[in-house]
Amino acid sequence: MKKILLVFGTRPEAIKMAPLVKEFEKHLSEFERVVCVTGQHREMLDQVLRIFDIKPDHDLNIMTPGQDLYDVTVKVLLGMRDVLKKVSPDVVLVHGDTTTSTAAALAAFYQRIPVGHVEAGLRTHDIYSPWPEEMNRQITGRIAAFNFSPTQLSRRNLLAEGVPEDRIFVTGNTVIDALHLVTERIKENPEFVGIAERKLIEAGYDPARAASGRRLVLITGHRRENFGEGFLNICKAIKDLNMKYPEVDFVYPMHLNPNVRKPIAEVFGDSRRPASNMFFIEPLEYLEFVYLMEKSFIVLTDSGGIQEEAPGLGKPVLVMRDTTERPEAVEAGTVKLVGADYNKILDEVSRLLDDPEEYRKMSGAVNPYGDGNACSRIVSALSL
């Protein structure tokens, strides 16, 4: 029996690894599955563990407020040394481009344990954008023995770097599996809709406003390269849009990183309630967030995962970054890069709100990221 150790630590990794944890539960005669969380995120990770009902076997619990890249790297590397010795897995699975995934991959390499990289081969080819994620995924890619690429494009990126063809498996992105799990759960338990609505009201935004026809701009932001000046530009643009369109609601579930919250307080004041159509709320559980994405008119974000989820729901996505490692939806026309640029954000959001033809062009549902069966393909590849 093969022993597989799945390692993750932040909200997006947890969302995208959760369906894989569940998939291994269907193959217990073939695989022993062990889950280790690093706790690079605490509250935002625990939200995901709760919703997918995952109880980790190991928890490094490393998060400290205001941690930097050195803190995370060193603590994960040292923590994983001991977990790897104790578990002695046949394969370690890591996800994407966080510092958890790269430090865990390196820790496994130091014990000569093969690494499987989930969401492999995404590239911008600019090591400072996104920073440090582009370098993180390149390093993990060099270590990985198994590369699970979401699309043909990510496979081609790896081939161009000399990764042997038989080490790459095109699986789709497990985020679509996660989305399916959540939407199925809502279908099977219609009372979840009521629960989600109640939780949103508790969080400070009443979704009845969207149901009554008010359009909703959903906002998230957290990229390190936007800290400081970039976030101030973003906040100023949101504030002016908020004044320009009183008939539109702007909802911003704020990341817990203090570097994200400081410019919000600077631009909007400590009460963060400059107008009755601006809603700053705490990070949402995945189910509530998906519910809100479905209700939204436009998504304005610098997130990676949301660029993969929202196009499938037919929502135009304006990405507050200069580059993207996810060009598939840009090519399909539903995602557009606007940078952390005051004028571009103002112009592009205004265009979508004012011009129905422009909106129609960007809102056709496309889903280049998979069919929801990525996890079963990953498990099959590991069975070989």
* Catalytic choice (222, 321, 326, 377): 222
Residues engaged in binding ligand UDP (CB under 6 A) = 11-12, 15, 220, 222, 253, 283-284, 286, 289, 303-306, 309
- b/e for 311-322, b at 16 or more Cβ within 10 A? bbbebbbbbbbb
* Catalytic choice (224, 261, 272, 351): 224
Choose one: 26-34, 63-71, 160-168, 320-328; the region binding ligand UD1 (CB under 6 A).
63-71
* Catalytic choice (97, 288, 302, 328): 97
* Catalytic choice (11, 33, 223, 255): 255
197 is catalytic: no
200: left (phi over 0), alpha (psi -120 to 50) or beta: alpha
Retrieve residue 194's tokens: 């009521």
Q: Which of 8, 36, 40, 103 binds ligand UD1 (CB under 6 A)?
A: 40
Site for ligand UD1 in 175-234 (CB under 6 A): 222
List 370's β-bridge partners, or say none. Answer: none
Nearest distance in Å: CB 128, ligand UDP: 16
Q: Please tell me whether residue 98 binds ligand UD1 under the rule CB under 6 A.
A: yes
Contact partner, 253, from ligand UDP, ligand UD1, none, Cβ < 5-8 Å per class: ligand UDP
Closer to ligand UD1 by CB, 207 or 304: give it: 304
119 is catalytic: yes
Q: Which of 29, 55, 66, 212 binds ligand UD1 (CB under 6 A)?
A: 66
Site for ligand UD1 in 117-156 (CB under 6 A): 132-133
CB within 8 Å of 82: residues ≥ 6 apart:
none
Q: Which of 10, 147, 149, 301 binds ligand UD1 (CB under 6 A)?
A: 10
Closer to ligand UDP by CB, 9 or 89: give it: 9
Q: Which of 4, 5, 8, 11 binds ligand UD1 (CB under 6 A)?
A: 11
Contact partner, 42, from ligand UDP, ligand UD1, none, Cβ < 5-8 Å per class: ligand UD1
322 is catalytic: no
Place of tokens 């817990």: 256
Distance CA(384)–CA(382), nearest Å, equals: 5
Mask: binding to ligand UD1, 71-90, rule CB under 6 A, as x and -?
-x------------------
Site for ligand UD1 in 258-277 (CB under 6 A): 258
255 is catalytic: yes
Q: Please tell me whether residue 257 binds ligand UD1 under the rule CB under 6 A.
A: yes
Contact partner, 43, from ligand UD1, ligand UDP, none, Cβ < 5-8 Å per class: ligand UD1
Nearest distance in Å: CB 247, ligand UD1: 31
Nearest distance in Å: CB 134, ligand UD1: 10
Task: Please write down the HEC assignment for all residues of the chain.
Answer: CEEEEEEECCHHHHHHHHHHHHHHHCCCCCEEEEEEECCCCCHHHHHHHHHCCCCCCEECCCCCCCCCHHHHHHHHHHHHHHHHHHHCCCEEEEECCCHHHHHHHHHHHHCCCCEEEECCCCCCCCCCCCCCHHHHHHHHHHHCCEEEECCHHHHHHHHHCCCCHHHEEECCCHHHHHHHHHHHHHHHCCHHHHHHHHHHHHHCCCCHHHHCCCEEEEEECCCHHHCCHHHHHHHHHHHHHHHHCCCEEEEEECCCCHHHHHHHHHHHCCCCCCCCCEEEECCCCHHHHHHHHHHCCEEEECCCHHHHHHHHHCCCEEECCCCCCCHHHHHHCCEEECCCCHHHHHHHHHHHHHCHHHHHHHCCCCCCCCCCCHHHHHHHHHHC
Closer to ligand UDP by CB, 6 or 306: give it: 306
CB atoms under 10 Å from CB of 43, counted, come to 11
Q: Which of 32, 67, 186, 366 binds ligand UD1 (CB under 6 A)?
A: 67
By the criterion CB under 6 A, which residues form the site for ligand UD1?
10-12, 40-44, 63, 65-67, 69, 72, 97-99, 132-133, 222, 256-258
- Catalytic site residues? 97, 119, 133, 222, 224, 255
